[in-house]
Structure 1
Amino acid sequence: MKIPFNKPYFTGKETKYIEDAVKRGMISGNGYYTKKCQTYFQESFGFKKALLTTSCTDALEMCAMLANIKPGDEVIVPSYTFVSTALAFVRQGANIVFADSKTDNPNIDETQLETLITNKTKAIVVVHYAGVACNMDTIMAIANAHSILVIEDAAQAICSRYKEKYLGAIGHMAAFSFHETKNIISGEGGLLAINDDRFINRAEIIWEKGTNRAEFFRGEVNKYGWVDTGSSFLPSEIIAAFLWAQIENIDNIQKKRLQLWHYYNNALVNWAHAHDIKLMPEPEKETNNAHMFYVVCKSMAQRDAIIKYLKSKNILSVFHYLSLHKSQFYKNKHDGRALPNSDKFSERLLRLPMFYELDAVEVVKALVSYKTPR
């Protein structure tokens, strides 16, 4: 493919730091580079506690454990999201209550939340789609009024803010992804952010297979043992060393991605208008981290035709999530409510290539030569 949908960006220091991690003699995790990364996220983004994980899915599973989700509890989740957002809570026995997207963007429609809350609701999980913030003031006010936890699925949202706060620092807990498709990467990898003091100590225990090993190494206890549930959530030092090279270049990476995003946004205005296509809304009160650039076509047929046309030009574009409430796994468990906006984005949203070394001029040139089939 001449222009892939994604291409991982390497800063040049990843292998140097991996080699250094090996020479330090401790590569199993929670060593020099893990601590450097976690300290950076706490100091730069305002998280009370940051713990690297092997994936965003693992970070979400830790959130479900920390929230003490039990069979029969209800968790509100947007239908338009990746399966991990719901799966982490399903594994704990939760009943998922799916919420619809907003009409103008795929984020959760906060105006529906009050109607979805029952006395079984334990948490609301919000997804900051494309790195653009949900309406966190309203969501937090509703959650606090009902004593419900808010968990931010910030997989796509590194460096984005809502008003003066970074995403992931607003809810009680948050999960980030460093998968190779994200802005900064470690191949696979994730981060759990804790913003509520109640969960910090237990988070460390769950992170370390249910043991109080972290307290032992800090000298807070004279021996460590199995004290809670948990799993092997922490990544190796090799993953953390790779991530540190990306963190060192995060400002440069963000600057370049934003340049590409704005080029798309400015260059495609006339093309979008001519084909009755909606460009990704430019955030107003929120910031844009240029995680992706998407358009919303007028129909599934038009979207599929554009994907096929770009492929003929050796450019890979993709659609995104399929509504989870219609998935094979969950369709018989859903309460039957129609979620038209989630379905709209499932059928009509198209993601254009977006990565650091992208030749966006070639993508735009191909798009503007596209003609709607008669």
Structure 2
Amino acid sequence: MFTFNKPYCSGRELKYMEEVCHSTTMSGNGDFTKKCHTFFEEKYGFKKCLLTTSGTDALEMCAMLCNLQPGDEVIIPSYTFVSTALAFLREDTKVIFADSSKETPNMEVAQIEPLITEKTKVIAVVHYAGVACDMDVIMALAEKYNLLVVEDAAHCVDSFYKDKPLGGIGHLGAFSFHETKNISSGEGGMLVVNDDRFIRRAEILWEKGTNRAEFYRGMVNKYGWVDMGSSFLPSEFNAAFLWAQLEQLDDIQDKRKHIWEMYYNGLNGKVGDMVRLPFIPEYATNNGHMFYLLCPSLEYRIALMTYLKENDVQTTFHYLPLHSSKYYADKYYGAELPNCDYYSDCLVRLPLYYELTDLEVKKIIKHIIEFCSKN
């Protein structure tokens, strides 16, 4: 069976976690946490990074930092994971769903401005599959209407918009290090703060609403409860695991992009006119996070996935539309979102992980071409 995903281990994870066992700090914000923070800040120029226990936690911190009030509106894509919406709904705001574009599952930027009202406070963009939204347009809208931009960069490690790293363009960004991501700590995430005015409060929220970070830097002689917050920071074991992955980031990225290119080159022009391959806009880079096919219908996708399963290839589809979900359907009064519905019905993800060999990729490609040639 070619499994859909297999988490990667560099070989140093246990060594570093053992070091934590023999250290004086296991609970978090120790040496490995600081190494991870410094890595991202120096490599990508992020102003401030804070590891979190999940990408969801990072998004929740983004929502808290936006200082939203009841009744405020946040524009998000409907084609995304539920965490993007939950983070803002927890702040008692209203989410306004935008459709995807015809070219990619990303939010249709031309649809954003008509959704902006006097209550709009945030545009939350999702860079699906690590492929950038058109951030120049989005940031221009934010400036025009005095809005904040939050980047859900869960898929986006080492991916860029033009020459700018994703997660580092909006005012705030959120990454995920779930086991399905390019680099992982099992569960984990990271808040990125790109606007100086949010840095101090981000540290306070991260430290359970206390100003402990200032105490450790000698800025105050004691620390206490000064704001809202939660226990967002992960343990040193998570950070140690992540550090072992970050040391191998370039190698991981090279391998994943190699597999992506094999899929694309092996399938391009050989699956007929009905099945579409991923599209990468000229302003975006490809970080090899995922490879997907777009089928002409739900029935076709089911048949393809069934055929691949019969040939020991595990595939999966992705998000169900949030605007028509069981939880939100009776709260949604907006327009139909046909492109979102299309991706939900027709997108199928192929296996993509570090240990997948060239021979295995070729076998998967062969099965796909066989199916498409008969259908």
Please indicate the TM-score interval, normalised by the length of the shorter structure: over 0.9
How far apart, CA to CA, are the structure 2 residues paired with 1:100 and 1:30?
A: 39
How far apart, CA to CA, are the structure 1 residues paired with 2:162 and 2:103?
A: 20
Q: One-letter code of the match for 1:345?
A: Y
Q: Give 1:270 shift.
A: 2.9
Q: One-letter code of the match for 1:109?
A: E
Please tell me whether residue 105 in structure 1 is matched to residue 104 in structure 2: yes
Q: Give 1:372 shift.
A: 6.4
**Higher mean C-alpha displacement, 331-340 vs 139-148:** 331-340
String of CA shifts for 1:248-279, please: whole Å, max 9, x gaps. Answer: 0000000000100000000001332x261000
Q: Give 1:315 shift.
A: 0.8
Query: How many equivalent pairs are there?
Result: 372
Task: Determine the structure 2 residue equivalent to 1:207.
Answer: 206
Q: Give 1:336 shift.
A: 3.1
How far apart, CA to CA, are the structure 2 residues paired with 1:271 and 1:86?
A: 38
Q: Give 1:207 shift.
A: 0.2
How far apart, CA to CA, are the structure 1 residues paired with 2:177 and 2:155?
A: 9
Task: Determine the structure 1 residue equivalent to 2:285.
Answer: 287
Task: Determine the structure 2 residue equivalent to 1:117.
Answer: 116
User: What secondary structure, in the 3-state scheme, does the structure 1 residue paired with 2:9 have?
Assistant: coil
How far apart, CA to CA, are the structure 2 residues paired with 1:372 and 1:345?
A: 22
How far apart, CA to CA, are the structure 1 residues paired with 2:301 and 2:234?
A: 38
Task: Determine the structure 2 residue equivalent to 1:46.
Answer: 45
How far apart, CA to CA, are the structure 1 residues paired with 2:68 and 2:283?
A: 33
CA contact 2:52–2:233 (8 Å) conserved in 1: yes
Q: Percent identity?
A: 58
Describe how 1:198-277 pairs up with structure 2 within 5 A. 198-272=197-271, 274=272, 276-277=274-275
Taking a change above 3 Å as real, the CA distance of residues 14 and 335 of structure 1, as seen in their structure-2 partners, is same
User: What secondary structure, in the 3-state scheme, does the structure 2 residue paired with 1:368 have?
Assistant: helix
**Higher mean C-alpha displacement, 262-271 vs 281-290:** 281-290
Where do 5+ consecutive residues of structure 2 fail to align?
none
Describe how 1:1-374 pairs up with structure 2 within 5 A. 2-272=1-271, 274=272, 276-358=274-356, 359-371=360-372
Q: One-letter code of the match for 1:132?
A: V
CA contact 1:275–1:372 (8 Å) conserved in 2: no
User: What secondary structure, in the 3-state scheme, does the structure 1 residue paired with 2:250 have?
Assistant: helix
String of CA shifts for 1:200-233, please: whole Å, max 9, x gaps. Answer: 0000000000000111111110000000000000
**Higher mean C-alpha displacement, 357-366 vs 232-241:** 357-366
How far apart, CA to CA, are the structure 2 residues paired with 1:306 and 1:168?
A: 34
User: What secondary structure, in the 3-state scheme, does the structure 2 residue paired with 1:325 have?
Assistant: coil
Q: Give 1:190 shift.
A: 0.2
Normalising by structure 1, we get a TM-score of 0.98
String of CA shifts for 1:266-317, please: whole Å, max 9, x gaps. Answer: 0001332x26100011342211001000111011100010000001011111
CA contact 1:210–1:227 (8 Å) conserved in 2: yes
User: What secondary structure, in the 3-state scheme, does the structure 2 residue paired with 1:370 have?
Assistant: helix
CA contact 2:134–2:283 (8 Å) conserved in 1: no
Q: One-letter code of the match for 1:184?
A: I
Q: One-letter code of the match for 2:342?
A: K
User: What secondary structure, in the 3-state scheme, does the structure 2 residue paired with 1:75 have?
Assistant: strand
User: What secondary structure, in the 3-state scheme, does the structure 2 residue paired with 1:176 have?
Assistant: strand
CA contact 2:305–2:315 (8 Å) conserved in 1: yes
CA contact 2:131–2:280 (8 Å) conserved in 1: no
String of CA shifts for 1:108-163, please: whole Å, max 9, x gaps. Answer: 11101111001111100000000000000000000111000000000001100111
User: What secondary structure, in the 3-state scheme, does the structure 2 residue paired with 1:278 have?
Assistant: coil
CA contact 2:55–2:175 (8 Å) conserved in 1: yes
How far apart, CA to CA, are the structure 2 residues paired with 1:269 and 1:308?
A: 22
Q: One-letter code of the match for 2:22?
A: K
How far apart, CA to CA, are the structure 2 residues paired with 1:37 and 1:371?
A: 44
User: What secondary structure, in the 3-state scheme, does the structure 2 residue paired with 1:291 have?
Assistant: coil
Q: Give 1:53 shift.
A: 0.2
Q: One-letter code of the match for 2:57?
A: D
How far apart, CA to CA, are the structure 2 residues paired with 1:314 and 1:184?
A: 26
CA RMSD of aligned residues (A): 1.0
User: What secondary structure, in the 3-state scheme, does the structure 2 residue paired with 1:350 have?
Assistant: strand
